[in-house]
A and B are shown apart, each in its own frame.
Chain A
């Protein structure tokens, strides 16, 4: 099995490396909106001294951390896999004795991330000197605690996106469904603003949804903003959602493949 992954990595890495210029352009999308929110919130914090206890530096460190965390936890499976179901090119992968979504597509996503992270690092350093965040309160324990959280967050997000992508077995409007999912993520993940500044009701709901596991939770872990109780609660939620995502994906995928009759066949 390890050999298979090794081989898949070589193939997918070579493929992504071909498109490295494109990937650098994709980075731009990732960078712009956090920078805009950073600018908006630091300008408010600077004018008032703080926003509900958040100083300008708190916002700067939050969004600078978000840039990295988002890069690690996000995935692009809807864009790299959805069309395969629709145009029938999935057939070739289905006859292989390995799971298309959990091997090839997964490795492809990780190769994509590795390359974008390589592009992100220099951009991040430039932004570091432009915004001069003060990370002195970040402790090693926070980072160590966040690493498993980010990996779990990635898998939760990946499996949920893979589930939505698998809906392409039934409908051609899978991109619209994904856009709706994406909108929920914008609202509940803490991408726009740290969740504690959101309306009370949004915070209450966000606690129980998977979206914060991809951004808000690991970011605040790194920044050391959580009490022990909150850390435990977050990990419990991550565990629960991981189980839900695995079960959900398996069900949808199995039923989908049964329905699948390749285009042209």
Chain B
């Protein structure tokens, strides 16, 4: 309950910040629509030259674009703005105030900044997924929808956990403010099914910077292309990575010795 109150307070503050820059918000929404147009056009160009890409059809790639946009929304609405704030607070020592709060520090670091207008993107993403699945003609059972939601959530948790580990490294290496670049750079690989990539790139996007776990895998679940064992496995990967990340975070926090001392 306490957590929920805090979240809604963060949300209100961020809505107020966004309202102070209304014109910027509108420009950003227009730019976002423009990129969506480009993404759909690029899929159109690809599929005017072929009927399948890595075994997937146009409808499935539109659905994948929707899933990718779910992950991307998490990144833009939460991860990038909070990384900026976090790195700043390590540099100038204002992290002290965050630690002094009687609330879980990881929670504060994750949610204190929210790019509010991005939330409409979630609706757009779901629309894309629904349209895409409809176009592909795949028959989707309620069970498949359930596993999809489960694995999409756990995939996002995997990426979130990786982020926590990356920014926690800053506790050890204060100057490491490039901490999330690798995540940022590889994110775009989530736009296409991992099966298209050469083997070494598949290994990178599945195991090292596991973008595919949050994009390709949940969509495979939605198409019913995963076995029960795989579903269980990916679900547990989500839980385990979260536990590992919170552990790394705790150890890192002990390492922290303010900027000025």
Mark each residue of chain B from 27 to 62: 1 if its CB lies under 8 Å from any CB of chain A, else 0: 110010011001001100110111011100000000
| Contact B45–A32 (Cβ < 8 Å) | no
Asked if B15 is at the interface of the complex by the 8 Å CB criterion, the answer is no
Specify the chain A residue showing the minimal Cβ separation from B23: A173
Please determine whether A28 and B182 come into contact, CB atoms closer than 8 angstroms.
Answer: yes
**Contacts from B to A (Cβ < 8 Å):** 23-24, 27-28, 31, 34-35, 38, 41-42, 45-46, 48-50, 52-54, 178, 181-182, 184-186, 188-189, 191-192, 196-198, 200-201
Binding site for B on A (CB under 8 A): 21-22, 25-26, 28-29, 31-33, 35-36, 39-40, 43-44, 47-48, 51-52, 130-131, 173, 176, 179-180, 183, 186-187, 192-193, 197-199
Structural contact, B38 and A186, CB atoms closer than 8 A: yes
**Residue in B closest to A48 when the chains form the complex, CB atoms:** B50
Q: Looking at the complex, which one of B48, B50, B54, B185 makes contact with A32 (CB distance below 8 Å)?
A: B185
> Do B181 and A25 touch (CB < 8 A)?
yes
The answer to whether residues A36 and B192 also contact, given A28-B185, A44-B46 and a CB cut-off of 8 A, is: yes
Whether A25 and B197, one on each chain, are in contact in the complex, defined by CB atoms closer than 8 angstroms, is no
Complex contacts, B38 vs chain A, CB 8 Å: 183, 186-187
- 20 A–B contact pairs at CB < 8 A? A22-B178, A25-B178, A25-B182, A28-B186, A36-B189, A36-B191, A36-B197, A39-B192, A39-B198, A39-B201, A43-B53, A44-B49, A44-B50, A48-B50, A51-B50, A52-B49, A183-B31, A183-B35, A193-B45, A199-B45
Known contacts A40-B196, A183-B34, A199-B48, then 13 further A-B pairs from the complex at CB < 8 Å, ordered by chain A residue: A21-B178, A32-B188, A32-B189, A36-B192, A39-B196, A39-B201, A43-B54, A43-B196, A130-B198, A176-B31, A180-B31, A183-B31, A197-B45
Contacts of B35 in A (CB 8 A): 183
Chain B nearest CB, measured from A22 CB (Å): 6
Which residues in A have their C-beta under 8 angstroms from that of B48? Answer: 199
Complex Cα distance, B47 from A40, in Å, reads 11
A35–B50 alpha-carbon span in the complex (Å): 19
- Chain A residues closer than 8 Å to B27, beta-carbon distance: 173, 176
With a cutoff of 8 Å between Cβ atoms, the chain B residues found around residue A35 in the complex are: 201
A51 to B23, CA, bound (A): 44
Are A192 and B201 interface neighbours, CB within 8 A?
Answer: no
A47 CA to B42 CA, complexed, in Å: 19
When distances are taken between beta carbons in the complex, the residues of chain A under 8 Å from B178 are 21-22, 25
Q: Which single residue of chain B is at the shortest CB-CB distance from A21?
A: B178
Given contact pairs A39-B196, A173-B27, A193-B45, A29 touches B185 in the complex (Cβ within 8 A)? yes
B-chain residues with CB within 8 Å of residue A130 when the two chains form the complex: 198, 200
Q: Smallest CB-CB separation from B200: which chain A residue? A: A130
Report whether A32 and B186 are in contact in the complex, using a CB–CB cutoff of 8 Å: yes
**Measured between alpha carbons, how far is A225 from B144 in the docked complex, in Å?**
49
A248→B155 CA distance, assembly (Å): 48
Contact B34 A36 (CB under 8 A): no
Interchain nearest-CB distance for B247 vs A (Å)? 26
Q: Is the beta-carbon distance between B201 and A173 smaller than 8 angstroms?
A: no
Specify which of A47, A48, A179 is in contact with B31 (CB 8 Å cutoff).
A179
- In the assembled complex, how far is the CB of residue A103 from the closest CB belonging to chain B, in whole angstroms? 29
List residues of chain B with CB within 8 A of the CB of A48: 49-50
| Cβ distance B132 to chain A, nearest Cβ, rounded Å | 17
User: What residues on A are CB-neighbors of B198 within 8 Å?
Assistant: 39, 130-131
Alpha-carbon gap, A47 to B195, bound state (A): 13
Looking at A32, A35, A43, A52, the one whose CB has the most chain B CB atoms below 10 A away is A43
